[in-house]
Structure 1
């Protein structure tokens, strides 16, 4: 069987097997109940015949004059306590199951009353309870059959106790059970075939959309075209949700592949320029040593090295590499990073009012992007509050350095940095008084290799990875990085981390 039909086959086989077990169990229960019911009816018939004969004996009817039923339907045997046969049904040739196998009446059997008893004597005997029920066989006119027997004890007018054994045929009842059994056996395969066919058809209709999804996914895999989507049925059931989830996954994969494609293309473009410049300078230096621009070669090498480090960090962030977890004070880390910036062209005003620090975090702030060059000197003021966060000290310092570098490129006269503990968050804000960023471009600045019109110079604007790296680091720490407008009209970057 084809693999595509295996689910249908398993479902049909499973449903058929369950129905078969249920039907067999129900059939057995019905047959047992029917057999028990018919057996109870046979016991009642046998008891009724035994009582009818017992009433005659109790009334004093002679044994030879008893009105006994047809032996074929209800064989009757009357015996005394000693096992002597007193009367039997006509035509009864043998009997078993009553405890007394004899079928020939004793010639000395009485009449049920003494011969000298007054005919007007009203004295009668007494019919007792049913002694037992049992199953046996009787032969009538040469044919043996199964019977249910009932025994009734009766006392005749002479105060002698005799036993009346009467039977009821089981052949008709057994025939009824057998007919019911064969009817069930004949109908079972037909019913199971119907169940299997209906289950196969229903399952096929239910799984038809799944087969469509499978075919489309196979086509997507073969063509590598992630823009295609699987069909979504209108049923609103689990299959429809599976199709929607599959399309969402395909959309995410398409976006991821497109991002990686753009990333590789942009990275190749960004690497090409410094490598080409460095190669040109080295080739010129090899031919004319006196013309070698050694500082330019060093600058290109440093830029190439920084770009490679940025690309490596982005690759780690994309791989969801979890940063090291340690608790530190964000205000202290900020001041340490600012103190190390000896070349800023514009002073940095640091306000940590609301950020508690004891100076223990000023060492080891990290040099991951925190350094810069210029002619300015930072100004540090303010203390107090509680602003401890958890994460990688070096990567958080990298975010601070990238934000300060961006502010230094665009600020006119001042860069202001604030650290505040706000509820469950610690917020670091970096403001500049530069031209700001249009609202439509405030999300674009966090895209990789994006440089806006006023920052297209590679020498001033870098490769366009700094803010993208900063946001990825913030989100990897459970926080975020957003851009709004500063009170001075410039840009405000808000770096938010969970507070410890």
Structure 2
């Protein structure tokens, strides 16, 4: 019994095949019961037919009741042709003639009064055996054969139904074992929910594979980049311990710690985007911009507001990180912050930081938002840029249904920022 249970559980195809067989068997039993109930005596249809037979036999025997030869000939013909027993009785119920084989206790009996011109002449009793084995086999055998054919065909149906699910189970197992390159492949005959599920699973696997690849690449880059500030911190610590330029060394230590803290903040923001749901809130663009300027050490006069921007729906910590990265990028690589410009559009709000740098090279409008992108000049590398700040800005914008944008200013320098839809558009 245990081996049979394991066999059934091993594959969905077998389970479907067995359940199809159970369904066909139950359908056959139900059909047989219905047929027996319909054809059994006592039902409405049976009563109607018996009434018609009783009236016909009573009228027919009433016509020939007083003609002994004709009466016997009619009774014998009915007994022979219908394989039944016919008994003729007088008005008092006494039998005086019988034709055909006798009937047992389980016989069906029909008593038809022989009537002519309203007078009861006698009774014709007809009985037949209730069970006919040959009759049962005549319809039971084809029913069993049809059921076996249907069950055999259900094996093909079970295979077609279970194959997509087995493929999905295989891919899920591969992903669970760390093979994120596994993909579900459906045949041309597969349609409906199985295809939708396979597409969702493939998209999930691709996203996990991309995230894991980004995490590995990020870990390798961060491990490499952390060596430089850590080496500087170690050196500055030794110099401070020796009493050489202690105050200057402490200032340098503070800057190095600040850089590491900023890097850790970017890493945490990356992790929140990858693995947690965003708890968005309605934020006032102007108040958010003023707070970002204050934290970056830039005066409030740098804030420029165009139009009447509506509130945006964003995760406060991540959005603050995006604005901080934009301002930090302008200070480090753009010659300083010229303005934080907030522009109201029809259904969006644009946050842009304008700098006083040399602007963007052709094609850099998109490349600056790629992870680990750094300009090929020595100054950017000396400043310890890892190339994550603007990439994180782009990811935060996309996670909020917006986009990052960059362009050169006519006055010189660059304008880099992000565009977010207004809260009323996202909640509608």
Larger Rg: 1
1:197 to 125, 144, 152: 152
Does the 8 Å contact 2:86/2:127 carry over to 1?
Answer: yes
C-alpha distance in 2 between matches for 1:140 and 1:65: 14
Which structure 2 residues correspond to residues 336-351 of structure 1 after superposition, within 5 A? 337-338=292-293, 349-351=302-304
Count of matched residue pairs: 401
Match of 1:115 in 2: none
C-alpha distance in 1 between matches for 2:298 and 2:57: 125
The reply on whether 1:50 has 2:76 as its aligned counterpart is: no
Does the 8 Å contact 1:49/1:74 carry over to 2?
Answer: no
Deviation at residue 217 of structure 1 after TM alignment: 5.2
Match of 2:90 in 1: 78
The reply on whether 1:270 has 2:225 as its aligned counterpart is: yes
Deviation at residue 420 of structure 1 after TM alignment: 2.1
Deviation at residue 165 of structure 1 after TM alignment: 1.3
Q: Deviations over 1:224-254 (max 9, x none)?
A: 3433444442334254554444333322221
Segment of structure 1 superposing worse, 291-300 or 257-266? 291-300
Does the 8 Å contact 1:351/1:418 carry over to 2?
Answer: yes
Does the 8 Å contact 1:50/1:76 carry over to 2?
Answer: no
Segment of structure 1 superposing worse, 192-201 or 264-273? 192-201
Deviation at residue 25 of structure 1 after TM alignment: 3.0
Which structure 2 residues correspond to residues 219-258 of structure 1 after superposition, within 5 A? 221-222=176-177, 224-238=178-192, 239-258=194-213
Deviation at residue 39 of structure 1 after TM alignment: 7.8
Please give the secondary structure, in 1, of the residue aligned with 2:244.
helix
1:289 to 236, 243, 251: 243
**In structure 2, do the counterparts of structure 1 residues 235 and 492 end up closer, same or farther at CA, with 3 Å as the change threshold?**
farther
Match of 1:402 in 2: 325
Please give the secondary structure, in 2, of the residue aligned with 1:74.
strand
Does the 8 Å contact 2:286/2:342 carry over to 1?
Answer: yes
Which structure 2 residues correspond to residues 127-166 of structure 1 after superposition, within 5 A? 143-144=102-103, 146=107, 147-155=109-117, 161-166=119-124
**In structure 2, do the counterparts of structure 1 residues 348 and 400 end up closer, same or farther at CA, with 3 Å as the change threshold?**
farther
Match of 2:3 in 1: none
C-alpha distance in 1 between matches for 2:240 and 2:140: 101
C-alpha distance in 2 between matches for 1:221 and 1:493: 41
Please give the secondary structure, in 1, of the residue aligned with 2:360.
coil
Does the 8 Å contact 2:305/2:342 carry over to 1?
Answer: yes
Q: TM-score, normalised by structure 2?
A: 0.76
Please give the secondary structure, in 2, of the residue aligned with 1:278.
helix
Match of 1:22 in 2: 27
C-alpha distance in 2 between matches for 1:309 and 1:216: 35
Greater share of residues in helix: 2
Where in structure 2 are there 5+ consecutive unaligned residues?
1-5, 80-84, 424-428
C-alpha distance in 2 between matches for 1:389 and 1:243: 35
Match of 1:180 in 2: 135
Match of 2:426 in 1: none
Q: TM-score, normalised by structure 1?
A: 0.67
2:95 to 100, 103, 112: 103
**In structure 2, do the counterparts of structure 1 residues 207 and 326 end up closer, same or farther at CA, with 3 Å as the change threshold?**
closer
**In structure 2, do the counterparts of structure 1 residues 301 and 487 end up closer, same or farther at CA, with 3 Å as the change threshold?**
same
The reply on whether 1:298 has 2:254 as its aligned counterpart is: yes
**In structure 2, do the counterparts of structure 1 residues 170 and 199 end up closer, same or farther at CA, with 3 Å as the change threshold?**
same
Does the 8 Å contact 1:230/1:247 carry over to 2?
Answer: yes
Give the RMSD, CA atoms, in angstroms.
Answer: 3.8
C-alpha distance in 2 between matches for 1:48 and 1:485: 108
C-alpha distance in 2 between matches for 1:212 and 1:327: 46
Q: Deviations over 1:19-64 (max 9, x none)?
A: 223333333444455566788666655544432332346xxx5x87
Does the 8 Å contact 2:326/2:390 carry over to 1?
Answer: yes
**In structure 2, do the counterparts of structure 1 residues 333 and 455 end up closer, same or farther at CA, with 3 Å as the change threshold?**
farther
